[in-house]
Structure 1
Amino acid sequence: MKIKLGPLLRAIRNSRHLTIKEVASKAGVSSSLLSQIERNRISPSLDTLLELLEVYGVSPEKFFKDYETMNRVEIIKKDQRRVYQRKGFKYETLSGYSQSKGNHSFTAFFLELAPGQKRGDENDGHLGRELGIVVNGCGQLIYGGDVYDISDGDTLSFSSQIPHVIKNTGKDLFQAYWIVTPADGEDYFGEGNNK
């Protein structure tokens, strides 16, 4: 795979609302050179890359971690999902390993709860946001002091910092696709049995 640093460097510059001319001046390179780097016409020398990252206030470690995440496509076939199962609930991972670290990380999984089962913590939240898409069954989101009824076809999104629990209140299996961002620091799957 051809290495393409330009789009990531351009995205960093744009996120800081800097012009090519401003960055080039601070980094001690020409505007033409920076423009060619951002368009992948030429590759920067290591010294030039380090100068640019210093201007942006981004460590080389973080830059390459973001680059790795940005440039990797991971496909997980249905029969190759990691499955974490305990009595009453099951998670199947949907996102690949490269998505689980860094600034724009996320965890995605398919959730199944047996009737009467619940997942979450009524006393504690965590950093981030969550998106759930219910595909079967009915249940409740217990969010802080509020209770929301949810059923097949509903979507829900919320800040994860508020304590929250998903509970199956129906007689059928509750199934939902779930996305949590950022992924860092949270263990959604626990030790349990996994396949």
Structure 2
Amino acid sequence: MKTKLGALLRAIRNTRNFTIKDVAAKAGISSSLLSQIERNRISPSLDTLLQLLEVYGVSPDKFFKDYETQSQVEIIRKNERKIYKRKGFSYEKLCGESQTRGNHSFNAFFLELAPGQERGDAEDGHLGRELGIIISGTARLIYGDEEHRIEAGDSVSFFSQIPHLIRNTSDTLFQAYWVVTPADGEDYFGEKTT
């Protein structure tokens, strides 16, 4: 499989809303060189790649882990899904392991949040985007300084860099399908108890 580092570097830059000119200046390279790298016209030297990753705040091990790709179909049968539980919430993993690695990685799961419980971090965000489709119940999405009510039938999507959490303020179980991309870097599941 031919390596296409440029597309991944361009995607990281776009996610951070940096211009080619800004990144090139911070990395100490020309805008023309960065443009050629992103279009896969030339391969960056190791030093240049490390400079770019430093500008983006991405560690080399995470970058190369994200780059691993596998092309295969994975079917997870309903009775074979992994279920992870922690106090007050559980995740039922919906995607195969190969989907949690590579350029376009994602995690997909069925989330259950007990009354009075919350999931997320009001102080910190992470790289990526999230999409939730609420199946039953009502909860509050705290997103930075904003607060939103989400309920059965709603869908919600947002950039994950803003600190966020979901709090079940109702007296019934909150259930939703949730997709997070990229998959790496977050401890979604914790200790398996089921």
TM-score interval (norm. to shorter): 0.5 to 0.7
Looking at structure 1, the residues matched to 151 and 43 of structure 2 have their Cα atoms a distance apart, in angstroms, of 46
Identity %: 58
Gap regions ≥5 residues in structure 2 = 8-39, 47-63
> How far 1:155 moved relative to its partner?
0.3
Asked if the contact 1:117/1:168 (under 8 Å) is kept, the reply is yes
Asked if the contact 1:75/1:96 (under 8 Å) is kept, the reply is yes
TM-score (norm 2): 0.66
> How far 1:56 moved relative to its partner?
5.9
> How far 1:57 moved relative to its partner?
3.3
Asked if the contact 1:82/1:194 (under 8 Å) is kept, the reply is no
Alignment counterpart, residue 43 of structure 2, candidates 54, 57, 60: 57
RMSD: 2.7
Residue 194 of structure 1 corresponds to: 193
Looking at structure 1, the residues matched to 117 and 186 of structure 2 have their Cα atoms a distance apart, in angstroms, of 21
> How far 1:55 moved relative to its partner?
5.1
Residue 144 of structure 1 corresponds to: 144
> How far 1:153 moved relative to its partner?
0.5
Aligned length: 144
The ranges of structure 1 where at least 4 consecutive aligned residues each deviate by more than 6 angstroms after the TM superposition are: none
Residue 81 of structure 2 corresponds to: 81
Residue 120 of structure 1 corresponds to: 120
Larger Rg: 1
Residue 178 of structure 2 corresponds to: 178
Asked if the contact 1:138/1:152 (under 8 Å) is kept, the reply is yes
Looking at structure 2, the residues matched to 74 and 101 of structure 1 have their Cα atoms a distance apart, in angstroms, of 13
Please list the CA deviations of residues 142-194 of structure 1 after superposition, one character each: whole Å capped at 9, or x if unmatched: 00010000000000000101000001121211000000000112111123x33
